[in-house]
Structure 1
Amino acid sequence: MASNYYVSHVRYNSDETHIQHLKVFEVGAEGKFSSGKPVEMTRPQAVEKIKAGSKFTTIIQKADKSWQTGAQLEIMPVETEYLKTKKDKSTRDNLESLPTF
């Protein structure tokens, strides 16, 4: 069974043209974090996990320290495989609003 993940932060390449790394929490029972600490994952690792059936959803920590889920990531094939969130009513990609690390 594929694991699911919450993405809390992203790191771009040196040219800031695409995401290079993600900080992710594995989703446990009832949608809760299965561990207290996020792990770092490369974009290719996330792409492979999505292809294998995993789901990645953005998550943002609010001022009161609670977490709010955002949009689900999808693979966008171009010259390379990019990650972005699924289309919603926003004109921006939700990944762009995540903090960088």
Structure 2
Amino acid sequence: MVDKVDYWISEVCYKDNHIESVRIYKDSEVVYGLEKTWTVTAVIDSINKGYNIGTMIKKDGRWCGGAIVEVVNIGGTEYIRTDRDSSTEDNLENLPKFC
């Protein structure tokens, strides 16, 4: 269980079936619409440094928190996922795409 989410991912950009970048908000800036675009590497680095990152979706005009994003290492490659299965791909496919 995570006590506090530091950042929220709202949208993803895929390239060759892997996430290339995400639209991300600092927790305190969601209501201000101050999203940034991060590479998936920046997301992985932040999670590995101890930051908690979750997904969020807009429902009925309001942001709703989703799952916690985790880093999974499979065959020496790191992926971001909301579950820990062993497939070799990122899995934030329920989020809207922005590219």
Instruction: With the length of structure 1 as denominator, give the TM-score of the two structures.
Output: 0.77
Aligned residues with identical type, % of pairs: 34
Does residue 21 (structure 1) correspond to residue 11 (structure 2)? The answer is: no
* 8 Å Cα contact 2:80-2:91 kept in structure 1: no
C-alpha spacing 1:23/1:11, structure 2 compared with 1 (3 Å): same
**Structure 2 portions without partners, runs of 5+:** 85-89
Dislocated runs of 4+, deviation >6 Å: none
For residue 6 of structure 2, what is the amino acid of its counterpart?
N
Instruction: Pick the structure with more strand per residue.
Output: 2
Determine the C-alpha separation between the residues in 1 that align with 2:48 and 2:31.
22
1:33-79 deviation digits (Å, cap 9, x = unpaired): 274221000011010000111111000001x2101110000001124
Determine the C-alpha separation between the residues in 1 that align with 2:45 and 2:65.
22
Q: What is residue 90 of structure 1 aligned with on the other side? A: none
Q: What is residue 51 of structure 2 aligned with on the other side? A: 54
